[in-house]
Structure formats: structure tokens, C-alpha cells
Amino acid sequence: MSHFTQVETKINDLVALKAALAELNMEFEESTADSLVKVRGWKGSTLTAEAKIKASKTYDIGLQLTEEGSYKLVADWWGIEEETNEAAEKLQQKVIQCYAKHKVKIEVEKQGFTLDAETVEADGSIKLGVSRW
């Protein structure tokens, strides 16, 4: 019996995702031109994906491309929770929030802005201050 479940996301920029995962000290592996990556799940079960994030010692989070061009997160979230003692929703939110921060940084730089400040609020939200001369 497979435990893999999907989480719909708006991740569509692997450069921003790689930067976010580097900040979070999470390993990332992308597929090659001739083969997809194997995503590990419960009792050795696997599925294939365009990329994967190593979530724990024996479990991965797969990134599968949707028809809309964004990625969905696919994983055995129960197994990840068991090995990491971190709720799946918390881990998903951490990755998505850090991704969003890096995506905003990339986009504001493209538009000629400079990042002046980055503040993490008490509630965990992130504020970015930008300016343009």
C-alpha cells in the first residue's frame, strides 16, 4: 500500500527553489535528460518525478510537473513526519515560504530594485524592503 500524497503548489522556478533549499540545508536532485529521479517512500516504494528533495534518511519529496507548468509536491508525508518529528504541513510551509522569498528576490532584481532589508516577524512572516534609484 502506497502512502504517497500530493500537495498542489505554485512552484514554477527551479532556480528559486534551489536557492531556498540551499538556505534550508536540504538536498535537491534534478532529473537528467534521459531519466526521472526516484522518490523514496514507505517500505521501499518509489515513484518517479522531475526532481526530488531529500526530506529524511529514507524518505524524499518529489516534484512532479503539472499540465499548468507548476510543480506539485508528492511524498509519503506520514513517513517523513515519523522520521523528522515535524508535521508535514509545517515542512511544506517552510519550503514554500522560503521558495516564495527567493522568487520575490529574483523578480525584484529583474525589475531593477535592490533588496534593502529582510525581516522575520514574530509570527514567522517575512518582510522584504526594496528600493530603486
The model carries a pTM of: 0.83
What is the model's pLDDT at position 113?
Answer: 85
Task: Output the nine-digit C-alpha cell for 110.
Answer: 529583474
What is the model's pLDDT at position 76?
Answer: 94
Which residues of the chain carry a pLDDT beneath 50?
A: 1-2
Instruction: Sort 53 into a burial class: Cβ within 10 Å, 0-12 / 13-18 / 19+.
Output: buried
CA–CA separation, 58 and 32 (whole Å): 22
What is the model's pLDDT at position 23?
Answer: 95
What is the model's pLDDT at position 1?
Answer: 44
